[in-house]
Amino acid sequence: MTKMQNALVEDGYRVINIGYPSNKKSLDELSNIVAADISEHVAPGDKVNFVTHSLGGIVVRSMLKKSPPWDTQKVVMLAPPNQGIEIIERLFKLKLAWLLGPVSNDLVREAMQKSPPTLPKNVELGVIMGTDSGWWTFNQILADQNDGLVTVKEGKMQGMKDFKTIHNNHTFIMLDNDVIIAIRHFLKTGSFR
């Protein structure tokens, strides 16, 4: 996300690019790790925006349910599996979900339905999904329009202020210049256009 980080710094944002052990912890543990990291850089009441990729969107959603002390304004999610991931369910059937670690249990559609994706009402949400599944082998098993891993439908959630699809794949969507322009616009105006 360095290219995105540089663009946002150019716009005057202080950017904290947070990594986490995605295949070693549960969703709840990951959200606690990220919240602790943010709390080291952000004071209670400070205004905060999030730009996430994939699982990062689900981690932020989980974290915001716990009412952190900062004031979240906007969230932009790139290729988030908000409704769960069909591919994960197939990996469970093949006994390969262990490759993704404990968080895989939190990403199946059934788990997502138990805890529907929401954000606090005051948070403006924009979602960008990729539609280029060309080189991913998973495209052969995903029936719906997808980015090679997550379907466009799996990325949607209630309460979105804006939604956009872009012809790019799951792995590289954050490097797309049109995506970066859309994110910059959303953070300023609450709209991708």
pLDDT at 92 over 80: no
**Domain 2-189 annotated CATH 3.40.50.1820:** yes
- Residue 184 CB partners (closer than 8 Å, separation 6+): 7, 8, 11
Number of H helices, E strands in the chain: 7, 4
Q: Which residue has the tokens 């004071």?
A: 43
pLDDT at 137 over 70: no
Mean pLDDT over the full length of the chain: 90
Give residue 135's pLDDT: 60
pLDDT at 105 over 90: no
- Residue 165 CB partners (closer than 8 Å, separation 6+): 128, 129, 130, 131, 145, 152
